Amino acid sequence: MAFKYGVSAINWSNEDILEFGDHYTADDILGQMSALGFKGTEYSRKFPSSPADLKGMMAQYGMELTSQWNSVHFSEPSRIEEELQAFYKRVDFLHEMGCKHVVTCDCGNAIEDLEANKVEIAPLTEKQWESLAAGLNQAGAYCSSKSMKLVYHFHGETVIETEEQIDRLMASTNPEYVHMLFDTGHAYYGGADPLQLLQKHISRVAYVHLKDIREEELQKLRHSGLRFRVGVRAGVFTVPGDGCIAFQPILQLLKDSGYDGWIIIEAEQDPEKANPKEYAQKAIAYLRSIIMME
């Protein structure tokens, strides 16, 4: 069974570290992706915000919008209603674009110390866990009503990062409405074995990010205690085949399970140090060498 594979626009133009790839235009990004044979990508700050304009540009390059990052604060009970209303509007945009998945991540409980370049993530209280699960279930039901799936993106430096937190989130939410975005890089970053995590939650996986980790840089970041973005700048993440993660058993498990959804190649790197087109090409060659993707 063939995978549908795409590449993230964040490889070209970062969404948080704005100087990373800021010179790239939407035409640059989509043109290079298309030239490499990719068919899908996620939304970028460089893309048009109007659905009509975006549809035209994507069609021009034979590309499809697969999803968009959505930060939420469902874990904060006092904000739940306003957060849901804002989320619904973003879902409506993705629905108009023909997307079937809504990438979602709770970004609450983050206390930034800009002077020290650190971020403290306070553990969720029991009340916050209940609020997060309820919010995700409600948001996922809205997605389902539009024949879409909410895919939760566990992520470094957020309230759902470690394997224990991921397990609890999956156990606390309705599998009919809350699915998993399985991300190899963030699984490893959070201390989990990506393959074992996938084996445990394969039935909930509806969307995949493949990225690799440079172990040496990860260890430096952990010892420093500095924030996630410091690691991104230092090159903690890279494309599959360029780091320490073994991808063959992961892809084999996805294939054996019948997974036929999107697999997005992603690597938050400085494009001046890691040319995004060249690295995406390397990733394709590596993945094709270990398992048939077409």
Domain boundaries along the sequence of the chain: 4-290
| pLDDT tens per residue across span 19-50 | 999 999 999 999 999 999 999 999 999 999 99
Residue 85, classified by CB atoms within 10 Å of its CB into exposed (0-12), middle (13-18) or buried (19+), is exposed
| pLDDT tens per residue across span 52-78 | 999 999 999 999 999 999 999 999 999
> For a pLDDT cut of 70, what percent of the chain falls above it?
98
Which residues, in sequence order, are CB contacts of 82 under 8 Å at separation 6+?
A: none
CA 152/CA 162 separation, integer angstroms: 14
**When comparing pLDDT for 291 and 96, which is higher?**
96
What pLDDT, on a 0 to 100 scale, did the predictor assign at position 292? 59
What pLDDT, on a 0 to 100 scale, did the predictor assign at position 25? 98
CA 151/CA 148 separation, integer angstroms: 9
Residue 1 above 70 pLDDT?
no
The tokens for 5 are 């594979």
Q: What is the rounded average pLDDT of the residues 152-177?
A: 98
What pLDDT, on a 0 to 100 scale, did the predictor assign at position 294? 43
CATH architecture observed for domain 4-290: Alpha-Beta Barrel (3.20)
CB 243 within 8 A of CB 212: yes
| pLDDT tens per residue across span 243-285 | 999 999 999 999 999 999 999 999 999 999 999 999 999 999 9
Q: Give the side-chain half-sphere CA count within 13 A for 22.
A: 5
CA 276/CA 294 separation, integer angstroms: 22
Residue 231 above 50 pLDDT?
yes
Q: What is the mean pLDDT of the chain?
A: 95
What pLDDT, on a 0 to 100 scale, did the predictor assign at position 187? 98
- Residue 293 binned pLDDT confidence (cut-offs 50, 70, 90): very low
Q: Give the side-chain half-sphere CA count within 13 A for 137.
A: 13
- Residue 119 binned pLDDT confidence (cut-offs 50, 70, 90): confident
Asked which of 105-119, 131-145, 207-221, 249-263 is least confident by mean pLDDT, the reply is: 105-119
Q: What is the rounded average pLDDT of the residues 178-191?
A: 98
Residue 115 above 80 pLDDT?
no
- Residue 240 binned pLDDT confidence (cut-offs 50, 70, 90): very high
Q: What DSSP letter does each residue of 119-186 carry, written as one string?
A: EEEPPPPHHHHHHHHHHHHHHHHHHHHTT-EEEEE--TTSSS-SHHHHHHHHHHS-TTTEEEEEEHHH
Q: What DSSP letter does each residue of 247-258 carry, written as one string?
A: -HHHHHHHHHTT
C-alpha pair distances (Å), 4 with each of 242, 254, 255 = 21, 12, 12
Residue for token digits 């077409």? Answer: 294
Q: What is the rounded average pLDDT of the residues 130-157?
A: 98
Q: At 191, which amino acid appears? A: G
Residue 214 above 50 pLDDT?
yes
Q: What is the rounded average pLDDT of the residues 140-154?
A: 98
